[in-house]
Amino acid sequence: MAPGEPGANAGWFERARAVIPGGVDSPVRSFASVGGTPFTVARGEGPYLFDMDGRRYIDLVQSYGAVLLGHAHAVVTQALAEAAARGTTFGMPTPGEVLLAEDICARVPGCERVRLVSSGTEAAMSALRLARGVTGRDRVVKFAGCYHGHADALLAGGGSGVATLGLPGSAGVTRAAVADTVVAPYNVVPELDETVACVIVEPVAANMSLVPPVPGFLAGLREACDQVGALLLFDEVITGFRLGPGGATEWTGVTPDLWCFGKVIGGGLPVGAFGGRAELTGVLAPDGPVYQAGTLSGNPLATAAGHAVLSFVGPDDYAELSARAATFAADLGRAINDGGLGARVTSVGPLVGLLVGTPGAAPEPAVDLAGVREVAEADGYRALFHAMLRRQVALPPGAYEVLFPGFAHNEKVLETVVSVAAEAAAEVAASWS
Ligand SMILES: *Cc1c(COP(=O)(O)O)cnc(C)c1O
């Protein structure tokens, strides 16, 4: 079915279900937590998506933060066309991977070496192996509601889709694989001992809606790690090059030992990166005994897109985007509450968190997964999601995800979202039972 034919969305999803488990290649896309059938995307342009029925949506998902400049930005499509013409993969060193690694190390204070991989999952998984290789220790401490991709050892207590689907972790993960994973509540410095290889944390949590670190949390982790010789690992897959050029490291002023990156650094193509101080990354093969590899790692197309995006935006651009997002968050919160549905909308840099309560009752700010879950499991978000989607604004299809206004979302687009939200909230409040 061609784009624009009525019923094309439904037709494509039916075909998808016949050949792809659940019809999707990543569970959160399925609308499982909000109900209904996902639309199928024909194309994107700036802040907009067009579905196979020819409907246009304002897109606040932006591929869960992988897209920073908006869809099909010329800076990216041109870099891709030029790179593709030179060949798509060689399995040999290329200038593109050097440029992207230089971009990352130049912008993130303390990060001296990065190795490129093909996803955030791979980055977190490999960083964990690196931490264990460096320290000779087994245990990893993670925080409930933080998501670090779908590697076995890191799924326990995950945010994002794991939280959305209410899974404790996942079937198919052995007890042995998670035996050395300790899950602690976010925003409380856990007690560590000398069995801990590393503490992995989202420095600003953005997979359980948006939960900023409370004052002292990250500095406390730094201190606790230093006391027992454990490594601190910032998972900046979302925050990296989105909060600002120096990501959460710059934003929080706390410097970890190791980092992982993803999403923005690929310019919308599959990339991840992990790294840290040179003395730590020196244990990686070929220089050291920690093995890690990838046929498509540092892929020429992905590095070209990532380098193009990182070169295009500067500190002032980020400051402007953050200011726009702060105004948007305040306006959106006011609109939904004025519409009669309680909501709390917060922002950190350009990241926007939306907690939807019940008519007349705005949720309290949450500091951990337990607080978010209480709100996210109620019907408010689900109802607002569909009321907005009918008005052609696409929020993420799950209450644990954040909104990603980016460089393509100008004031006019964001004002449209706010006025749509006011109408949608009024509709939901009026029909609440
Ligand atoms: C998305 C995400 C990941 C996983 O990245 P993928 O590219 O989906 O594998 C890891 N950590 C965080 C914080 C993320 O948001």
410 lies in some domain:
no
Residue 121 Cβ contacting ligand 1 at under 6 Å: yes
Instruction: Give the structural domain span for 92.
Output: 74-312
User: What whole-number distance in Å separates Cα of residue 271 and Cα of residue 296?
Assistant: 9
Q: Whose CA is nearest to atom 11 of ligand 1?
A: 148
Q: Whose CA is nearest to atom 5 of ligand 1?
A: 120
Among 238, 400, 404, which is best to mutate for testing ligand 1, by the most ligand atoms less than 8 A from CB? 238
pLDDT at 197 over 60: yes
Q: Is the domain of 214 the same as that of 255?
A: yes
Q: How much distance in Å is there from the Cα of 67 to the middle of ligand 1? A: 13
Residue 239 Cβ contacting ligand 1 at under 6 Å: no
Choosing from 287, 312, 337, the residue where a domain stops is 312
Measuring CA to CA, which residue among 285, 336, 265 is closest to residue 102?
A: 265
Q: Whose CA is nearest to atom 10 of ligand 1?
A: 148
Q: Summarize pLDDT for 39-76 with one digit per residue, the tens.
A: 999 999 999 999 999 999 999 999 999 999 999 999 99
Q: Is the domain of 262 the same as that of 291?
A: yes
Give the ligand 1 atom nearest the CA of 270: 7
Which pLDDT score is estimated for 317? 98
Q: Is the domain of 277 the same as that of 230?
A: yes
352 lies in some domain:
yes
Q: How much distance in Å is there from the Cα of 262 to the middle of ligand 1? A: 7
Q: Is the domain of 345 the same as that of 210?
A: no
Residue 200 pairs in a beta bridge with: 233
Choosing from 262, 292, 312, the residue where a domain stops is 312
Q: How much distance in Å is there from the Cα of 412 to the middle of ligand 1? A: 30
Which pLDDT score is estimated for 270? 98
Residue 202 Cβ contacting ligand 1 at under 6 Å: yes
Measuring CA to CA, which residue among 298, 281, 247 is closest to residue 113?
A: 281
Question: How are the residues of the chain apportioned to helix, strand and coil, as percentages rounded to the nearest 5?
Answer: 40, 15, 40
Q: Taking residues 136-152, report their average pLDDT.
A: 96
Q: In the structure encoding, which two tokens stand for residue 46, read together?
A: 């700036």
Q: Summarize pLDDT for 314-333 with one digit per residue, the tens.
A: 999 999 999 999 999 999 99
Which pLDDT score is estimated for 361? 92
431 lies in some domain:
no
Residue 149 Cβ contacting ligand 1 at under 6 Å: yes
Residue 401 Cβ contacting ligand 1 at under 6 Å: no
64 lies in some domain:
no
Furthest-apart CA atoms within the chain: distance in Å: 65
Burial class (CB in 10 A: 0-12, 13-18, 19+), 339: buried
Given pLDDT bands bounded at 50, 70 and 90, which one contains residue 176? Answer: confident
CATH number at residue 88: 3.40.640.10
Neighbours of 232 (CB within 10 A): 24
424 lies in some domain:
no
Q: Is the domain of 359 the same as that of 287?
A: no
Q: Is the CA virtual torsion 94, 66, 329, 189 positive or negative?
A: negative
Q: How much distance in Å is there from the Cα of 6 to the middle of ligand 1? A: 34
Which pLDDT score is estimated for 165? 58
Q: Taking residues 413-418, report their average pLDDT.
A: 98
Choosing from 283, 312, 341, the residue where a domain stops is 312
User: What whole-number distance in Å separates Cα of residue 262 and Cα of residue 118?
Assistant: 8
pLDDT at 251 over 60: yes
Given pLDDT bands bounded at 50, 70 and 90, which one contains residue 162? Answer: low
Residue 203 Cβ contacting ligand 1 at under 6 Å: no
Q: Taking residues 238-242, report their average pLDDT.
A: 98
pLDDT at 168 over 60: no
Q: Taking residues 184-212, report their average pLDDT.
A: 97
pLDDT at 433 over 80: no
Q: Please give the mean pLDDT across all residues of the chain.
A: 95
Structural domain total, the chain: 2
Q: Is the domain of 326 the same as that of 191?
A: no
Q: Is the domain of 224 the same as that of 338?
A: no
Q: Whose CA is nearest to atom 14 of ligand 1?
A: 237
6 lies in some domain:
no
Residue 321 Cβ contacting ligand 1 at under 6 Å: no
Of 118-122, 254-258, 357-361, the one with minimum mean pLDDT is: 357-361
Residues 6 or more apart from 379 whose CB is under 8 A from it? none
Q: Is the domain of 142 the same as that of 190?
A: yes
Residue 207 Cβ contacting ligand 1 at under 6 Å: yes
Q: Is the domain of 186 the same as that of 263?
A: yes
Residue 159 Cβ contacting ligand 1 at under 6 Å: no
283 lies in some domain:
yes
Report, as residue numbers or ranges, the catalytic residues: 147, 235, 263
Q: How much distance in Å is there from the Cα of 193 to the middle of ligand 1? A: 28
Which pLDDT score is estimated for 171? 86
Give the ligand 1 atom nearest the CA of 149: 4
55 lies in some domain:
no
Which pLDDT score is estimated for 96? 98
Q: Is the domain of 277 the same as that of 354?
A: no
Given pLDDT bands bounded at 50, 70 and 90, which one contains residue 175? Answer: confident
Residue 148 Cβ contacting ligand 1 at under 6 Å: yes
Which pLDDT score is estimated for 174? 87
Give the ligand 1 atom nearest the CA of 236: 13
Q: Is the domain of 286 the same as that of 329?
A: no
CA distances (Å), origin 23, targets 32, 50, 423: 11, 19, 32
Among 117, 121, 243, which is best to mutate for testing ligand 1, by the most ligand atoms less than 8 A from CB? 121
Q: Is the domain of 110 the same as that of 124?
A: yes
Q: How much distance in Å is there from the Cα of 88 to the middle of ligand 1? A: 24
Q: Whose CA is nearest to atom 13 of ligand 1?
A: 237
Measuring CA to CA, which residue among 389, 332, 326, 327 is closest to residue 362?
A: 332
Q: Taking residues 123-152, report their average pLDDT.
A: 97
Give the ligand 1 atom nearest the CA of 120: 5
